[in-house]
A = this chain, B = another copy of it.
């Protein structure tokens, strides 16, 4: 089945793989405004754009059902889809879910998964609009497809950042990642015990960020109220480093992110200390924060502060790279995480 040459995917990474896939694609339909290379596809629908994204959540990669309640997993799947729509400055409208269901699953387990899916759909006024179910011989697989729309003059691509724009971030980073590490630690500690008592007290925030993340519809609404259209935007799924690099590459610019401006919650710091981990690494590469990273013109500084959003850096000229600036002024190039 295999050809002669074998290149490991890790050699080119997720970025390289997606670039390779997208490089030879020429849209043939006038309605395809944007195909590959952003958080969603953009489809011309007359007076508005329809936005469309899809992703897979796989057991053993994205979630561990030993400690992941099915309601929460359903909720998170919807949030992950909605977050992509928000990252285009759009309004989520429809969700479709395709499930690959292992034999060990009962109808009641599927009910619990859908309890979470419905709760998220209600919370975000998004309609569960179909999908598919099939048997799986491996683990649970969840295909999430999200659709939404946006006024044509309000769409935010990854590609519009300009030098001197402010780099803005909703919420804090790294908490979901430290929550995951806590869950993994307690899984190991409680393994095989008949009546496991995981030590979660005092860690509610980071657990919530991992197990029941929320999508930042509030930020999109506040930006609209303030009359601000971000010059570029992306959501934090793979970590700040990866997403900053995406914005820089798409916009053809560099970035300076200030380490001492990275918003990291108290509980994230505490857990990192307890686990002898670096909270900055969690912030840069942890991912699954579902926060919005975006740029606005420097002139919008006052309005942005009024929205309760942090400014963590600014856009620089092409060729200057995406840099993390430490408090002593030294600069470290941001790196995308490898293929895992």
A-to-B contact residues, CB < 8 Å: 1-3, 5-9, 11-12, 14, 17-18, 20-22, 24-25, 27-29, 31-32, 34-38, 40-41, 43, 45-48, 50, 52-56, 58-62, 65-66, 69-70, 93-94, 96-101, 105-112, 114, 118, 121, 125-139, 141, 143, 145, 147, 149, 339-340
Q: Whole-angstrom distance between the alpha carbons of A57 and B28 in the complex?
A: 26
A-B contact pairs, 21 of them (CB 8 A): A1-B65, A1-B70, A1-B109, A2-B109, A3-B106, A3-B108, A17-B133, A21-B131, A27-B129, A29-B93, A29-B125, A32-B94, A43-B94, A52-B52, A56-B99, A56-B141, A60-B137, A60-B138, A61-B136, A100-B141, A135-B339
Chain B contacts of A99 at CB under 8 A? 56
Judge whether A29 and B94 touch: CB under 8 Å.
yes
Judge whether A46 and B43 touch: CB under 8 Å.
no
Q: Whole-angstrom distance between the alpha carbons of A3 and B67 in the complex?
A: 15
Judge whether A35 and B118 touch: CB under 8 Å.
no
A55-B132, A135-B340, A145-B145 in contact; A106/B7 too (CB < 8 A)?
Answer: yes
Q: Quote the shortest CB–CB distance from A12 to chain B (angstroms).
A: 6
Q: Whole-angstrom distance between the alpha carbons of A11 and B53 in the complex?
A: 34
Judge whether B93 and A134 touch: CB under 8 Å.
no
Q: Whole-angstrom distance between the alpha carbons of A55 and B96 in the complex?
A: 9
Judge whether B134 and A61 touch: CB under 8 Å.
yes
A3-B108, A138-B138 in contact; A149/B9 too (CB < 8 A)?
Answer: no
Chain B contacts of A3 at CB under 8 A? 106, 108-109, 112
A54-B131, A101-B9, A129-B52 in contact; A93/B32 too (CB < 8 A)?
Answer: yes
Judge whether A108 and B58 touch: CB under 8 Å.
no
Judge whether A7 and B137 touch: CB under 8 Å.
no
Q: Which residue of chain B has the shortest Cβ distance to A99 in the bound complex?
A: B56
